[in-house]
Amino acid sequence: MDRVGIAFPDAHLDPEKMARLAATSHTEFGFDNVMPLFSVWHESAALGCRVDWGDSGRMPDGQSVCSSIDDPFRIPRDFLKEPGCAVPLKALQLLKKEVGSEVAVVGKVFGPWTLGYHVFGVEEFLISTLLNPDRVKQVMRQLLEVTVAFAEAQIEQGADALTLGDHCTRDLCSPNAYRDFLAEIHQELHERIPCPLILHICGDTSDRLKYIRETGVECFHFDSKVPAAEARRLAGDNLALMGGTSNIDVVLNGTPESIERDIAEKLKVGIDIIGPECAVPLDAPCENLKMIADAGKRL
């Protein structure tokens, strides 16, 4: 943000600024992909969540639309035209034109589990999975269409691949919740969205990787709470793996030696795509990001 003079909140709200800031991951650091959706709130803002878009030291945050899972919720008909969706769609188009011949242009959508947290509130949504699972399944079917429509629109604007964030994370729910509410839905998303999908779930996912690998998604973006070798073993032969590099130990506090050691370990156990485990901390040193990209190319 400092190097190019474009910061949050503008970078979430103006497509040219969003595209220029996203391009820096390639132009400043040498990563071979660019990704302009810096927050988890884009489509949720378009669904009616009130969002505070943060600033250069603070990630965005938002508020739910409904207070009860039983509240009637309707997807706004033109949600793709709302700024929350329209801005990143335009930014993807600009990035495709500007750097799309050199690097992968990656978009991002959220699945119906994360959208459920946003629309109904995390606590209300999770309690309802126990008290009113049928209603949860009903709203997830509704929200699934948001994920598919936003994904198709991003592909149309030039996205080569999409991150699918769906935070069915161990701190909040059991592996059975993944199996019973999400496995089928992620399988359907993989079937309906015509580009490679990178599923992202934070935290320790070792107890649900056996279900994730059956969904057919091309890649899983994993957290450093799963040791890389363990992730490789649990993912089997067909599921590609990305990430696993600790944001705290390596991205934020790494030294040239510890960064090189981490990347070498990831490559040795067969991690397919080098990168941080989750959203890069806003105070991460630029030199560390560049060293990660360099090590990925050199090793």
Q: Which stretch binds Zn ion (CB under 5 A): 87-95, 177-185, 207-215, 274-282?
A: 274-282
Minimum distance from residue 165 beta carbon to Zn ion (Å)? 7
Nearer to Zn ion, 202 or 274 (CB): 202
Provide the angle, in degrees to the nearest 10, between the axes of the packed helices 112-120 and 122-131: 110
Range 185-204, binding Zn ion (CB under 5 A) = 202
Minimum distance from residue 68 beta carbon to Zn ion (Å)? 27
Minimum distance from residue 219 beta carbon to Zn ion (Å)? 14
**Would you say 169 and 205 are in contact if contact means Cβ atoms under 8 Å apart?**
yes
Q: Which stretch binds Zn ion (CB under 5 A): 59-67, 148-156, 210-218, 272-280?
A: 272-280
40 makes contact with Zn ion (CB under 5 A): no
Nearest to 65 by CA among 83, 51, 80: 51
Q: Which two tokens stand for residue 7?
A: 């910061």
242 makes contact with Zn ion (CB under 5 A): no
DSSP string, 181-231: IIHHHHHHHHHHS-S-EEEE--S--TTTHHHHTTS--SEEEE-TTS-HHHH
278 makes contact with Zn ion (CB under 5 A): yes
Amino acid at residue number 78: D
Count CB-CB contacts under 10 A for residue 214: 15
Q: Site map for Zn ion, 201-220, x if CB under 5 A?
A: -x------------------
Nearer to Zn ion, 92 or 278 (CB): 278
**Would you say 180 and 156 are in contact if contact means Cβ atoms under 8 Å apart?**
no
Q: Which stretch binds Zn ion (CB under 5 A): 66-74, 136-144, 261-269, 271-279?
A: 271-279
Positions touching Zn ion (CB under 5 A) are 202, 278
